[in-house]
Amino acid sequence: MKDKIQSHFFWKHANGAFSLFDKPVEIIYSKIVSNIKYSYIFFLFLIFTQLSNKNYVLHESMLDPLWPMLLFKNISPVSIALFCQISLIVGFILLTRYYNNRFLKGFVFIIYFLYLAFLNSFGKINHGHHLALMILFCFMLMPGNKVANYKEKTILLFASAQFFLLFSYSLTGFWKLFWGIVEFFTKDVSLFSPLSFRNILIEQFQLTNPPLLGVWFLEHYYIGYIFYCAVVVIELFAVFAFFKSNLHKIWGVLLIGMHLGIHLVLNVNMYPAIMAIGLLLLMSPFQKSSTKRLY
């Protein structure tokens, strides 16, 4: 595997110290297959969390249909929701058995895409499920067992999914820093002031009741600002962690810790993002095991 990507302008950067491809192809591939099988159970869980969400289905029509929903805007939301949920539940259950069936993978990706478009056609686009959709997209492109070099291709696509995940966090950090610099010169309060953390809390708490930790940080915003700066650093450098296999689990823990903090302080949940981090980083197939097996 190392030889095949050594000269590639992108992948050669993942081939230095703590290379992603140190382990034999067979071992990486078998771990990826195991991750994929687990993932469909997690996806099934995600769909089950949506079953009790009756808000959307009680409407006569979608308020602001997104472009994939324009064809279906005259169909009642309850019919769309039921069709998508039943299709996804059946699809994910079948995929746990036939995990490499390309038709099933394509079908599930398209229905999940339409389902997200539907859920986001009521005014606000929620980005919680975008990373989960990205994972399904990469899984869909993974080749079947009869294609030449299918193991190497599967490994590259799994690594690409890891890159997209970490890149999206780096973008979040980049925009915070970018607007922080712009606002440093144009506004009174920017990222470089402890009031920035406090102001984000104030704005957020106009809408939701502050959790206990949120109220505490509102009073002690200087302490919260230290955590806020740490979050910006974790986000900004996330993409660099991709190129070193020994950083995958560390960054996975940091990002999940960040989401836990956001949940406790701001009361904002992103369960699908945590699922994506768990599958791609915490269970990274590229990281060498720290304990040696005695067999």
Partner 1 sequence: MKLHKNFVVFWTIIYLVIAIVGRFTTSNKEIFPFFRWSLYSKTPNNLAFPFIMVTKVNDSILENPTNILELNSVHHLSLVDMNLNVKDFYKDVLNCKANNEAYKGDFFKILPDNSDFELFKKTLDMTKVDYKSTEEVLKILSVKNNTTINFER
| x-or-dash string of contact with partner 1, 59-78, rule CB under 8 A | x---xx-xxx----------
What minimum distance in Å lies between the beta carbon of 151 and partner 1?
11
The residue among 124, 133, 112 whose CA lies nearest residue 55 is: 124
Number of residues that bind partner 1 (CB under 8 A): 65
List the one residue from 37, 176, 259, 263 that touches partner 1 (CB under 8 A): 176
**107 vs 109, which CB is nearer to partner 1?**
109
**Residue 144 phi, psi (nearest 5):** -80, 175
Q: Is 215 a residue that touches partner 1 (CB under 8 A)? A: no
* Residues present in the chain in total: 295
Q: Which of residues 88-147 bind partner 1 (CB under 8 A)?
A: 113, 116-117, 120, 122-127, 130, 133, 141
What minimum distance in Å lies between the beta carbon of 130 and partner 1?
6
**96 vs 160, which CB is nearer to partner 1?**
160
What minimum distance in Å lies between the beta carbon of 291 and partner 1?
31
Q: How far is CA 234 from the centre of its chain?
A: 15
List the one residue from 17, 52, 58, 74 that touches partner 1 (CB under 8 A): 58
List the one residue from 45, 48, 175, 240 that touches partner 1 (CB under 8 A): 175
